[in-house]
Amino acid sequence: MAPKSRKKKAHAKTLTCYCNVCPEESVDNEKCETRPGGSCFASVRGIYNSTTNEYDVEYEYGCMPPEQSGGLLQCRGSLYLAGQNIKCCDSGEFCNQNMELEFQAPSTTPSPSDTQQIDQFSYNQLALLLSLGVCAILFLIIVLVVLVTYRRRETKRKQVCLLESGHSSHLSPLNDLFEQSSGSGSGLPLLVQRTIAKQIQLEKSVGRGRYGEVWLAKWREEPVAVKVFFTTEEASWFRETEIYQTVLMRHENILGFIAADISGTGSYTRMFLITDYHENGSLHDYLQMHVISPRSLQELAHSLTAGLAHLHMEIFSKPGKPAISHRDIKSRNILVKRNGQCAIADFGLAVKYNSELDEIHIAPNTRVGTRRYMAPEVLDESLNPTQFESFKLADIYSVGLVFWEMARRCVTTIPGTKSTACEDYALPYHDMVPSDPSFEDMYDVVCTQKIRPPIPERWQDEEILQVLSKIMVECWHPKPTARLTALRIKKSLSKIQTDGSGHIV
């Protein structure tokens, strides 16, 4: 082996090669000479351009070092080395100049068959996950519906069981029944209402009007009021029941509704409306029997407008409450609660308004309200029934007259003395029209003569009476659009402060 090696070294020669990347010692810029045993090479490589997302191809020609220096090892390696295709030659001068080189870009993407398999796998995974997700959501919805339905049925079942149970010690009071109801604010379930109505025990008559008669009654030893309608007032019963069962109707200054029922034979029908019972009776009766302090006057007036503001207000929610106009505000239709606040009652003439549909629901009722409290635009028939605001402003006129009734019974101290003064109770226009005035009587006073109830001078000596006097004048203004809103009146009255003795401060 040694002689052979020495022979090869003896015949080692240099080559002249074509170069475009020539060494510094090269004399000519297009050729170079190899060292003994070296070779010529040609290479092609691609440099990735991230801007164009393609490879820029570069060709290189030059001299390769001898094998002892590691040069030929590159030529004997893989066809591609780090993205570079290299070919070497030692067959003669400039043997590398016309070598054919082909660049193939390295690829990290899988073959088409692999890609299809991966895409199909990903699609199947995604479809499976989506299916599982939809199934889970549907399952949760079904569970929630079942739970809600079960809970409501259990609540109703417990209510009926409590009502039908003979053990009074296990009975829930009416307030508990309302707390157990659906929470929509539209009253108790109909089955519970009918069960209560069958268990009512009438005790004594406490009032009578053109619609029927009001009785004090007992349900499981709890006092309730029962309005028994005349057979001719079926429309009023239907309307009042509908209004009371309106969603979100319940309010501390609106008479609390408990139940309604209708029963009878083909020739005789009884219609009941069961509500909270207030022993003080109507505001009309209360003012005849009592004088009131400035503090009490403020409480009565403020609570009345709070109830009316809630009635007039439309609540936008799911479910929501329509705006409602009472259309028969008077002192007989307002009850006085034990805490000294008012509760508005009698909704047989009420009007509902849905702003989304722009619909006014006027009940087919022959009653037209109370003439003494009718606004000028009602008396002269100029009220626009297609505009719901017209009904609300007519309510405000009536409220102004009720304020006048309250204010007359408010006691004030005569300046410079220790004596007190107040007027006797009287109805609005008591000294100008008969006890049961006709349309013509009221039209002549209110519309033709434009008379309004007088305001005594003593009312200027007490702040609440001063404020209420100004409110009254704006409430009964002949031009409806100049009147205040219930919410504005409520805010004005809530600003008045009183001291511990009941005097305004």
> Would you place residue 366 in the very low, low, confident or very high pLDDT band (cuts 50, 70, 90)?
low
Which amino acid type is present at position 454? P
> How many angstroms separate the CA atoms of 256 and 244, rounded?
8
pLDDT at residue 488 in the model? 96
10 Å Cβ neighbour count for 432?
15
pLDDT digits (tens, 9 = 90+) for 8-22: 444 678 888 999 878
User: To which H or E segment does residue 93 belong?
Assistant: none
Q: Which of 6-20, 273-287, 458-472 has the lowest mean pLDDT?
A: 6-20
Higher pLDDT, 390 or 148: 390
- Architecture of the CATH domain 280-505: Orthogonal Bundle (1.10)
Q: Give the per-residue pLDDT at 496.
A: 83
Residue with the larger pLDDT of the pair 363 and 432: 432
Mean pLDDT, range 225-231, rounded to an integer: 91
**pLDDT bucket at 283, cuts 50 / 70 / 90:** very high
Active site residue 28: no
Pairing of strands 39-49, 54-64: antiparallel
Q: Name the band, by pLDDT with cuts 50, 70 and 90, for residue 2.
A: very low
% of the chain residues with pLDDT over 90? 43
CA distance 489 to 363: 28
CA angle 398, 403, 409 (to 5 degrees): 140
Of the residues 114, 119, 285, 328, which is catalytic? 328
Q: Where are the domains of the chain?
A: 9-89, 143-277, 280-505
* pLDDT of residue 294 exceeding 60: yes
Phi/psi class of residue 281: alpha, beta or left (left: φ > 0; alpha: ψ in -120 to 50)? left
220: closest CA among 165, 161, 280, 263? 165
Helices (H), 22-173: 71-76, 112-164
- What's residue 414's pLDDT? 84
DSSP codes of every residue in 359-389: EEEE---S----GGG--HHHHTT---TT-HH
Sign of the four-CA dihedral 430, 435, 436, 437? negative
Q: What is the DSSP string of 185-250?
A: SS-S-HHHHHHHHHH-EEEEEEEE-SSEEEEEEEETTEEEEEEEE-GGGHHHHHHHHHHHTSTT--
Give the percent of the chain with pLDDT over 70. Answer: 80
Strand 342-344 versus strand 351-354 pairing type = unpaired
Averaged pLDDT, 379-406? 95
In the structure, what pLDDT confidence band is assigned to residue 354 with cuts at 50, 70 and 90? Answer: confident
Peptide bond into 319 cis (omega under 30): yes
| Residue 257 to residue 240: CA distance in whole angstroms | 10
Asked if residue 4 has pLDDT above 90, the reply is no
Residue 233 per-residue DSSP state: G
The three state secondary structure string of 286-320 is: HHHHCCECHHHHHHHHHHHHHHHHHHHCCECCCCC
CATH code of domain 143-277: 3.30.200.20
Contact call for residues 157 and 177 (beta carbons, < 8 A): no
Rounded Cα–Cα distance for residues 326 and 353 (Å): 12
The SS3 assignment for 189 reads coil
pLDDT digits (tens, 9 = 90+) for 58-113: 888 888 888 766 555 566 544 455 567 888 888 888 898 888 887 777 665 445 55
The answer to whether the beta carbons of residues 262 and 272 sit under 8 Å apart is: yes
CATH no. of 9-89: 2.10.60.10
Task: Give the three-class secondary structure for 43.
Answer: strand
Q: Measuring CA to CA, which residue among 117, 96, 97, 90 is closest to residue 35?
A: 90
Average pLDDT over residues 192-205: 82
Query: In this structure, are residues 380 and 447 in contact, taking their beta carbons and an 8 Å threshold?
Result: yes
Lowest mean pLDDT among 45-49, 334-338, 392-396, 429-433: 45-49
